Amino acid sequence: MIFTPTRLSGAHVIDVERHSDERGFLARTFCEQEFAEHGLPMRIAQSSTIHSPRRHTLRGLHYQEALNSEVKLVRCTRGSIFLVMVDLRPRSPSGGDWLGVELSSRSLRLAYVPEGFAQGYQTLEDDTEVLYHMSHHYVPEAARGVRWDDPAFGIEWPPVEERIISDRDRAWPDHHPASGEP
């Protein structure tokens, strides 16, 4: 695996290395020891798959509050997405900054989203599937979010005529940087 730090403190993009022969290829997408050697501790407590039948579906920006915060390892297993992560940590050198990266089933690229980040994505193709590994189990009472179009972040989502967004995701509040919480 090739670990590339991003401009957001602690966030990484991970490219897998394919080992091919006449049968196809093998590509390792996770190794606890290798992640730790790169300073990226990752305990997998839960994995989830999300399917979106239509392109331009936007999910996010989600996180869990502090006592239940989680690291997410995200991979697109079918189709493609524009993944966005936002550093919500109040004392982080990249606090309030965002990063967008395309993940696709063709590239096999993963995104390492640290604790204290909100994360979401927009599908770029119909019939898209995303695999999440999380370091903490889902706690409904700790689920939080910030609005996908919050002007505090200025996220440049891929342009579309109409996005498919849940009422819940439309209702998330704006982020208030001084407190580190929405």
Domains of the chain, residue spans: 43-170
Residue 41 has a pLDDT of 86
Contact 55, 47 (CB under 8 A): no
Q: What is the share, in percent, of the chain residues with pLDDT greater than 90? A: 82
Residue 116 has a pLDDT of 94
Rounded CA-CA distance 57/150 in Å is 17
Residue 144 has a pLDDT of 94
State the pairing for strand pair 57-64/164-165.
Answer: parallel
The confidence band for 182, taking pLDDT boundaries of 50, 70 and 90, is very low
Q: What is the share, in percent, of the chain residues with pLDDT greater than 70? A: 96
Q: Which residue has the tokens 């502090």?
A: 66
Q: Which of 18-22, 156-160, 163-167, 177-181 has the lowest mean pLDDT?
A: 177-181
CATH architecture under which domain 43-170 falls: Sandwich (2.60)
Residue 10 has a pLDDT of 94
Each residue of 78-98: b (16+ CB within 10 Å) or e?
A: ebbbbbbbbbbbeebebbbbb
Nearest-Å Rg of the Cα atoms of the chain is 16
In the chain, how long is the greatest CA-to-CA distance? 56
Digit-coded pLDDT (tens) for 8-29: 999 999 999 988 889 888 888 8
The confidence band for 81, taking pLDDT boundaries of 50, 70 and 90, is very high
The confidence band for 104, taking pLDDT boundaries of 50, 70 and 90, is very high
User: How many Cα neighbours within 13 Å face the side chain of 42?
Assistant: 29
pLDDT at 62 over 80: yes
Query: Among all residues, which ones are annotated catalytic?
Result: 62, 132
Higher pLDDT, 96 or 181: 96
Bond into 83 cis (ω within 30): no
β-bridge mates for residue 13, sequence order: 4, 111
Three-state DSSP class for residue 120 = strand
